[in-house]
Amino acid sequence: MRYRLTVIGTGYLGITHAACMAAMGFEVLGLDVDADKIARLNAGELPIHEPGLEPVLRRGLDSGRLRFTTSYEEVAAFGDVHFVCVGTPQKRGEYAADVSYIDGAVESLAPLLDRACLVVGKSTVPVGTAERLADKLVRLSPVGAAAELAWNPEFLREGFAVQDTLHPDRIVLGVRSERAEKVLREVYEPLGDVPIVVSDFATAELVKTAANAFLATKISFINAMAEVCEAAHADVQLLSKALSYDDRIGGRYLNAGLGFGGGCLPKDIRAFMARAGELGADQALTFLREVDAINMRRRARMVDLARELAGGSFHGCTVGVLGAAFKPDSDDIRDSPALGVAVAIGHQGGRVTVYDPIALDNARKAHPELSYGESAVDAVRGAHVVLLLTEWQEFVELDPEQLGGVVAARRIVDGRNCLDAEAWRSAGWHYRALGRP
Ligand code: UGA
């Protein structure tokens, strides 16, 4: 049987999942409570920047297999399998995750279900959420246990969302019945030979948080080494390169720099600590506090380095900031290290002008107090210090001579260790980087 799928929540995850499932041949109905977003999606317009996604979306719409709605009634009537992809942001003023959107999705859908179906959580949640939602689903659905829950965490990265969805390195299925496992195996069958791990709910939920905690730890490990390198006049780039040849360590997520941001890693490690605390296992994750602290210290160090180059104070100083997104190939500015640094320098009296190839509109909305340039050259015009904070390819390829012609002083801090230090120095720039002499 070809199941009809629905996708509830159209953020980075939901849009990608919906479009890719349609590309795999399924009929898919996406839902969001934001009518404006739904109208744009139905018109083939992406509300986010995600390379390669728009053509997949458009092909889905053109084929007639993909459409979007704001109606839970329609979703309940349409779907055999309902994927829940809503956000679980950090609670304001707390470490814990706000799971109200996911509870809201189940509460809206469940009472409308009139036949057997599978509700599949994909959002990142505190362990124990699936068990709670499974009870809620059965309690609220008129068909009782015929509406079943499963947990199927998502590992896609922004910037590579389509690739990661169509070619995942593993699929994790948290299920309570053979029926649920069978349905999900059939759904993912078109992806071919992908390792599948079948588990209980709690393990499936934990795989996701553990994976993000590991990645965050790896990044903070190399950034801690960068701190030591700075103190010992060593070079973290060479250190990282040498470590990477050890297969047991590997070179991915070992790039030292301004550290991690975005809508996932920072809030996920915090929510993980909060949940472990509730479970009485807080000691097991106290190291994540350090991982978080190392990460945040990189931003502070960047501000210090910029101030040092500015001559000890930002007063009367113009700072050109290259990058606003939390990483290249994304317009996402959630917990962006780049913007964090820009805002901090503004608070300390610097005149900051920011440029980003894609994330400028989002940055402008979130931080109207900063100035924005229309290009890299525009943003650094008259600058006493230039900061490279997001490693967009366009910045990596900047010509130090050309840029040198418009700045007030040739001083640059490479926050992502992505520039050719020699090329910049020989063009007369005072070049500094995090974790390097
Ligand atoms: C992350 C995970 O990589 C995905 O597997 C996961 O599915 C996703 O979170 C999620 O939970 O939804 P993402 O937030 O898109 O994906 O970003 P990453 O590509 O992992 O980068 C995170 C941050 O780490 C960025 O700010 C990046 O600049 C930084 N980073 C990454 C480093 O500072 N150094 C590195 O070596 C690698």
Residue 420 lies in a domain: yes
Say how far apart CA 40 and CA 58 lie, in whole Å: 11
CA of 266 to the centre of ligand 1 (A): 10
* 291 shares its domain with 405: yes
DSSP state, residue 156: P
Report d(CA 17, CA 40) in Å as an integer: 17
- Looking at the fold, whether 165 and 261 belong to one and the same domain comes out as no
**Res 274: pLDDT:** 97
Q: Which of residues 165, 199, 233 is at a domain's end? A: 199
Q: Which of 199, 229, 262 is the last residue of a domain?
A: 199
Q: Which stretches within 256-324 are classed as H helix?
A: 265-278, 286-309
- Report the pLDDT value the prediction gives residue 1, as an integer from 0 to 100: 64
Q: Tell me the binding residues for substrate.
A: 155-158, 208, 253-257, 261, 327
The alpha carbon of 412 and the centre of ligand 1 are apart by a number of angstroms equal to 25
What DSSP character marks residue 110?
G
- Which of 243, 265, 267, 332 is the pocket-test mutation for ligand 1 (most atoms within 8 Å of CB)? 265
All residues at 6 or more sequence positions from 201 whose CB lies less than 8 Å from its CB, including other chains:
130, 131, 134, 149, 151, 174, 176
Both 219 and 145 in a single domain? no
Place of tokens 């525009």: 378
Ligand 1 first shell, C-beta below 6 A:
124, 154-158, 212, 215, 219, 253-255, 257, 259-262, 264-265, 268, 326-327
- Same domain flag for 77 and 146: yes
Strand partners, 354: 321, 372
Q: In this structure, which residue's CA is closest to atom 30 in ligand 1?
A: 260
Binding annotation? 32, 37, 88, 124, 155-158, 208, 253-257, 261, 267, 327, 334
CA-nearest residue, atom 24 of ligand 1: 260
**Residue closest by Cα to atom 13 of ligand 1:** 157
How many domains does the chain contain in total? 2
Compute the distance from residue 185 Cα to the ligand 1 centre, in Å: 27
191 shares its domain with 223: no
Q: At which of 199, 226, 243 does a domain end?
A: 199
- Per-residue pLDDT of the chain in tens (437 residues, 90 and over written 9): 689 999 999 999 999 999 999 999 999 999 999 999 999 999 999 999 999 999 999 999 999 999 999 999 999 999 999 999 999 999 999 999 999 999 999 999 999 999 999 999 999 999 999 999 999 999 999 999 999 999 999 999 999 999 999 999 999 999 999 999 999 999 999 999 999 999 999 999 999 999 999 999 999 999 999 999 999 999 999 999 999 999 999 999 999 999 999 999 999 999 999 999 999 999 999 999 999 999 999 999 999 999 999 999 999 999 999 999 999 999 999 999 999 999 999 999 999 999 999 999 999 999 999 999 999 999 999 999 999 999 999 999 999 999 999 999 999 999 999 999 999 999 999 999 999 98
Handedness of CA 283, 287, 288, 289 (dihedral sign): positive
Domain identity same for 177 and 230 = no
CATH number of the CATH domain containing 69: 3.40.50.720
In which domain, by residue range, is 244 found?
215-433
Within 10 angstroms of residue 41's Cβ, the number of other Cβ atoms is 26
Q: Atom 28 of ligand 1 has which residue's CA nearest to it? A: 327
Centroid of ligand 1 to alpha carbon of 132 (angstroms): 29
Whether 164 and 125 share a structural domain: yes
